[in-house]
Chains A and B, each alone.
Chain A
Amino acid sequence: QGARTVSGRVTDQETGQPLPGVAVIVRGTTVGTTTGANGEYTINVPANSNTLVFRFLGYAEVQRAVGNASTIDVALGFDAEQLQEVVVTALGREEEERTLGYATQQVGSEQITQGRERSVANALQGKVAGVNIQSQGGGPGSSTRVVIRGAKSISQSNQALFVIDGIPVDNSSSGTGDNLNAGVDVGNRANDINPDDIESINILKGPAAAALYGARAANGVIMITTKSGKGATKKAEITYLTSYTVEDILRYPELQNRYGQGFFGEPDLLENTSWGPIFTGEVLPWGQIIDNQQRVKPYVALEDNIKEFFDYGYNWTNTVSLSGAAENATYYASYSNTQQEGVVPTTEYSRNSLAIKGTTKLVNKFNSTVSMTYTKSGGDFALTGQGNSVFNQIIQTPRDIPVRELEDLDNPFNDEAGFYSPYTINPYWSLRNQTYENDVDRLFGNITLGYDIMEGLNVTYRIGTDFYTDRRKQFMAIRNVEGQNASNNDNGMYSERQIYYREINSDLIVSYNRDLSEVLTLDVLLGNNINQRENDDLTATADALANNEFRSLSNIIGTPLTTSFRDKRRLVGVYGSAKVGFRNFLWLEVTGRNDWSSTLPIGDNSFFYPSVNVAFDAAEAFGLAENTPINFAKFRANYANVGNDALPYSTRSVFVSGNISDGFAGTDLNFPFAGLPGFEVSNVIGNANLAPENTSSWEVGADMRFFNERLRLDAAYYNSKSTDQIINVPLSFATGFGSAFLNAATIRNEGIELLVGGVPIETNDFSWDISVNFTKNENMVEDVAGDNEISLGGLSSAALVISEGRPYGTFLAEDYLRDPQGRIVVNASTGRPRLSTEQTYQGSIQPDWQGGLVNTFRYKGLRMSIVFDTRQGGKLYSRTRGTQRFAGTAPETLFNDRQPYIIPNSVVQVGTSDEYVENTTPLTNTNLYEYWGNLPEGTNIIDASFTKLREVSVSYRLPASLVERTFFGNIEVGLSGRNLILWTPDENTYIDPEVNSFGNGNLQGYEFSSYPSTRSWGANLRVTF
């Protein structure tokens, strides 16, 4: 067929409004045009070409056979679900996905918001390959950790960089510093992002994708593009969205229901353990005698006494947004309010955000974008960890204590003096009198100004800032009673902390693109980046209060302890990239960046790193689309190098204000001492010769689509090696120091990512889209200076360490003493296991693999999405297990019905010889508690595998015929549920293994009497005017 001219009009399927700027391309050629302001186009179709492709950001691509037609009108449907062709890459550039030589994955707004999840990070769970997203607990406002392609750094963050509209924003999470005792998960700063404001998220997975962002992007980037009003019709559109979800606890520990309160098999009304006699059903007194009265109850198990402690929580979100577009301008504005109330009484979180964004294209070749978001967030949190945290107490509660009857604190049997046990405190009292709250005010945004110097040559300047204050208040009431509970008396405590953070980011970018010839295209970019980040942190703590009447630093006794900390770092970078395209099927891009960082030794603070990537579209090159079921076949490969600087102030040794601690909270000796300052030689040796860290990686991958895109496949293999890792290498204390900053570790991550999707059924009314993602990452610490073991933290008896030849984050924990045959060696006189003198490695936190399954069904206006998420392998330390064993509430403590028994297959050492003989000493009723309560900590490390029904959502868009009669533009109703079902291996009868007590830093894998995770379900409504 010969050449001919085709024209037509492209409109929005929903509104019928014309769409300007739509790319119209003749398939298999470089011939293309874009639609004008009225959505119209005219294109010359060369001979032997027969297909037009219509592409527009945020809309599903449409292909039309030309045939003999001279007019082709197309209505594009908005479709975030489909892999989009144009994606946002580093620095906020929009690039055609098929020209990229590295892996990215785009998630549209519908997928992000369908589950009505408050946290942007959580909303991605189960939907992306190569990304490990772990929500750390179920508390309102709790944090989430996002790691792409494995952990690389020991002392610095491993989390992906969050970038909003081209500008990096802070996603740190600073907890309480001491999570063992009264720790609090105060959330991470990505929580400040309102998911409803997001247009799309593109995940740049490897260093190659992110090389232009420099140091911080070695961990990959979560590129968030906010709504702009683009694609909106000229008329203003108002959208109102409301959703209400209810939540309760996802996993309660299993409990024994045979033995009640007591110790050594005997009743004991003071005990908070269940080592008492077997249940009899008799009506017996319980608790203390107060005013010659004592409460009575039947001595029976209360199967749900723990469950009854928890409430239903809820999350109510209301968002109203306004958007519109004019000839050369778009705008978007929104206000959103989220109120969350936790399952633990008194816990809550709220977020209010106000966002505005506007773009203009001015006649004099200028274009500009302004975007700004103000967020106010904060919450009331429950303390976690050991000691008197409610979670610790509630798990120990004897099986016959009616927890709900403890709620009324005015009842003399429940107040501080009258509470039944001196070994613990009333959890309801703790919630009301031991509080932690915070209040965050945050502003982030940027101004971008671009100028088209000439056709293809553009200069853009963008300046952005992100700053917040986080004000925190912790209060612990005075307890002063007489009698048995006097041991819990406390002078009270009050603390205020103010965290201030500010980041400034400036980019000057010159870009140039032109067609070098018929077959060659060129895109060049040069830029300069200046980044400054600073923290300012001030804390005042008083450990004695004047009274409980009000919460202020004026209501204290003595002098408060004040500490302040600040740091500032600067980075200057120059970067460039050049991308050459050949015949619209082969692209080669090289990038380079040089950074100068303030955190490296001055004079030796410059480092350069390059990357190169190739993309080859075989379908285009060989015309496969015409002759085979292969619609698209892209192969990509890349190699990248990314440098990283050090933590501030690592380059020289200092003196630090004297402090010495015994590990208990508030018992330090802290200088000034009686008014006298004291500075000790810091235990850390600074290093004036630090070199930058480096991660080098390579990756190959393919993106293939078949049968008119009914089947999609995206696969990637990557291998990255992070060398010269700057770590605080532990030293023998006998050197006079505890550690030194050295370039001293190498970590390798190697893995595959698979994304397989398809549309098994597609009719006019019905479609089923299925997508499976699979990730396997193998992590190995290949070298650590001097065979050292670096502790990431945790317990001294069950630490998480970095050790050569083992994965990042391996447990090193107490173990049984075993004979050469592996039998447990017990103490001959007690029959209890002996501990091995050396701790052993007991698995790592790294999962073997993880995956997700996303099913989306559509029937007319009805849409349903079901997401499964699984993680297999990896270990977790469960303090709940330890506590339940100690307290005798775990079902396993019923072994042999608590009658005397000899530990199966146990032996006794003969003297100090190598001879072992069979153990004949049974555990008895009197030391069963000691057996279960003193098992080596390593026995509390359990399989962390899980599978979750992560998300189910149903939405229904009312037919246009109905809506037309109203003043609404669109009405959509929906139901959503998250984390509805949890499957775990049999040995985990305790907790949701996703829970981590120590926040979203590098110390993972500890459930330390954490805030339990929740499941939620609810309804939502979206209307537009």
Chain B
Amino acid sequence: CEDYLDINVDPNNPPTSTPELTLPAGQGELAYVLGNQFQFMGNFFAQHWTQAGAANQYCDLELYQITSSDYDARVWGELYAGALNDFLFVSQQAAEEGDLGAQAIGEIMQVYTMQVITDAWGDVPYTASLAGLENANPEYQPQEEIYDGLIDQLNTALALIDEGGSTDIGASDLVYGGDLDLWRRFANTLKLRIYLRQAYVRPEVAQSGIQEMYASGAQFLQMGETGDVEFADQTQNRNPFYQTQVVFRGGVDVVASNTALNYLQETGDPRIDQFYAPAQTGPNAGSFVGVDQGVECTPERTGNQSNTVSKPGPAVASPATAVPFISAAESYFLQAEAVARGWTGAAGGDASELYAQGIRASFDYLGEDVSQVDQLLQQEAVAYPTGGSVEEQVEQIITQKWLSFNGVQGFEAWTEVRRTGYPSFIEPSAASTLGTDLIPKRLVYPNTEAIRNQNYPGLVEISVPVWWDVKD
């Protein structure tokens, strides 16, 4: 009888897994969130994209009316219970198997994911998280503590690689195919990002951390070394922005924001035809034309069809468009900022050259001819303000960095706008329901937390900055 009844083994799902099987699931989930919900949100808030006139699907993003159910189970849930928990499994299981390289990759991906979470929501569960039923009500932790913890975690991961760790993970690593040298540079670049995020709130911590990195000869991601997840032109394997906006919604919602489009046109930037597509019909057919941020969600709306203006272009809205975690361009812009702030010592190189490399890396990633960059750098609005104040230099770096994020790294674009206040020409959406000078400063905690977590800290409004966001 016992044998007859011993059949409760799930034939559909395996009881165990390996780092090779679980790492790609975690990376895919993270790329999906960054390439979908956070791509929409980030590119709207950072004003690369705006709502088309003849629809209103994303007006909430223009009105800055983000509710507690907007980024709940499918974003907060996938980041914690999807990506983060999968990466935790990868590092734990790899440690058990003695695959130190895979363990390091798992740790680095955890840090990356955790930074996205805390940058979006501020104080969140960190050390108390991922304990299953052992801690069903994870405590929230100050963002400052989380940032310190992330550095420690990265140091642990880097030590694993530096100690000669190797990995068998191979092609199951969607980002670098198991290349630990690239992962080391990715981790260093991520560490630089984490320090620079604190540049205004804890400059002394940022400075000493960065100095230490340069003193120990840290290497960062270089041209062609963007860490990204490529999508595939197969059923439910496609770029999520493409699947959702271009296919499912028929491309009716998202069009070029004049904020970004004007800057591209003013500077004669050839990347315009990668970021955007010319209007298909109407009086402007064949040319690049945008919409003022948010205006189509106000009574002044024109109601024009999306195809009478520019939509996201081939480099950002194609079936196989990759979602970068950290791009080579971002790496150079981060280094340029570190140098401009004088936090690198002589090892840091030249800020204006790193800045130019950032733009070249962006061209390279988009498939544009890199040789055009020198000409672009002649433009007044693009030229590096060598000799300008630190803040002027930072403004220039962040403005071009922001542009390089167009359509692919929306979340980081918005986050850097929050941190630095650049580009300075960003004005709130015409449809804003916040105060006149405000763009959203965070996401509100998800509804499931209010209901399921007894340590839920209560509502924090979208207008309240996170810890590192101290600059006007």
Contact = CB atoms under 8 A, between A and B. Distances in A.
Nearest to A735: B132
Given A487-B252, A736-B88, A837 B68 contact: yes
B152 interface: no
B44 to A, nearest CB: 15
Contacts of A786: 136, 454
A464 B30 CA distance: 50
Given A264-B299, A543-B236, A567-B11, 17 more contacts: A422-B305, A487-B306, A541-B235, A543-B235, A654-B14, A664-B249, A673-B174, A677-B21, A678-B28, A681-B86, A732-B137, A734-B130, A735-B132, A737-B85, A738-B73, A740-B132, A835-B67
Interface stretch (A166-174, A557-565, A702-710): A557-565
Interface stretch (B75-83, B382-390, B413-421): B75-83
Interface stretch (B214-222, B267-275, B286-294, B442-450): B442-450
Interface in A373-422: 422
A962 interface: no
A602 B68 contact: no
A737 B81 contact: yes
Nearest to B36: A662
Contacts of A734: 80, 124-125, 128-130, 138, 449, 453
A263 interface: yes
A268 B303 contact: yes
Contact of B5 (A570, A658, A730, A796): A570
A531 B291 CA distance: 65
B371 interface: no
Interface string B438-472: 00000000111111111000010000000000000
A734 B88 CA distance: 13
Interface stretch (A323-331, A593-601, A611-619, A945-953): A593-601
B73 A733 contact: yes
10 contacts: A541-B235, A560-B235, A572-B1, A652-B10, A655-B22, A680-B85, A731-B132, A734-B124, A735-B129, A927-B299
B307 interface: yes
A740 B447 CA distance: 19
A677 to B, nearest CB: 6
A677 B133 CA distance: 28
A567 to B, nearest CB: 8
A565 B12 CA distance: 6
Contacts of B280: 486
A491 B238 CA distance: 14
A651 B250 CA distance: 43
A662 B240 contact: yes
Of the candidates A652, A662, A678, A732, the one having the most CB atoms from chain B within 10 angstroms of its own CB is: A732
Contacts of A657: 13
Contacts of B303: 263, 268
Interface of A: 263-264, 268, 270, 422-423, 483-484, 486-491, 541-544, 558-561, 564-570, 572, 596-600, 602-603, 605, 648-649, 651-658, 660-671, 673-683, 685, 730-738, 740, 786, 788-789, 796-797, 827, 835, 837-839, 926-927
B251 A926 contact: no
Contacts of B22: 655, 678-681
Interface string B109-148: 0000000000000001100111111011110000000000
B235 A542 contact: yes
A678 B21 contact: yes
Contacts of A662: 32, 36-37, 74, 240, 244
B69 interface: yes
A954 B448 CA distance: 56
A210 B15 CA distance: 37
A597 B5 contact: yes
Interface residues of B, number: 99
B452 A730 contact: yes
Interface in B76-103: 76-82, 84-86, 88-89
Contacts of B77: 683, 733, 738
Interface centre among A541, A661, A681 (most CB of B within 10 A): A681
Contact of A730 (B78, B125, B451): B451
A735 B136 contact: yes
A654 B13 CA distance: 6
A666 B236 contact: yes
B265 interface: no
B244 to A, nearest CB: 5
B428 interface: no
B355 to A, nearest CB: 35
B73 to A, nearest CB: 7
Given A487-B306, A736-B132, A668 B73 contact: no
A656 B129 contact: no
Interface in B243-296: 243-244, 247-252, 280-281
A491 B247 contact: yes
Contacts of B29: 658, 660, 669, 680
Contacts of A678: 21-25, 28
Given A572-B1, A658-B24, A678-B24, A561 B235 contact: yes
A680 B82 contact: yes
A443 B105 CA distance: 55
Given A673-B28, A733-B73, A796-B72, A667 B15 contact: no
Given A570-B7, A654-B13, A678-B21, A665 B248 contact: yes
Given A565-B12, A680-B26, A423 B248 contact: no
B84 A736 contact: yes
Contacts of A671: 24-25, 28
A655 B232 contact: no
A669 B17 CA distance: 20
A732 B17 CA distance: 24
A735 B454 CA distance: 12
Given A662-B37, A827-B433, A655 B13 contact: yes
A489 B76 CA distance: 32
A213 B252 CA distance: 56
A676 B16 CA distance: 17
A605 B72 CA distance: 37
B237 A736 contact: no
Contact of A669 (B4, B240, B452, B454): B240
B171 interface: yes
B380 interface: no
A679 B14 contact: yes
Contacts of A668: 236
B234 A736 contact: no
A387 to B, nearest CB: 9
B6 interface: yes
Contacts of B37: 662
B25 A679 contact: yes
A788 B451 contact: yes
B233 interface: yes
B144 to A, nearest CB: 18
B54 interface: yes
B371 to A, nearest CB: 32
Contacts of A730: 448, 451-452
Nearest to B433: A827
B452 A605 contact: no
* Most central of B72, B174, B451 by chain A CB within 10 Å: B451
Contacts of B451: 730, 788-789
Contacts of B7: 568-570, 598
Nearest to B453: A732
Interface string B158-198: 00000000000001101000000000000000000000000
Contacts of A603: 2
B4 A660 contact: no
Residue among A568, A655, A668, A735 facing the most chain B CB atoms (10 A cut-off): A735
Given A666-B248, A679-B21, A732 B86 contact: no
A740 B80 contact: no
A837 B281 CA distance: 42
Contacts of B459: 837
> Which of B32, B33, B453 has the most chain A CB within a 10 Å cutoff?
B32
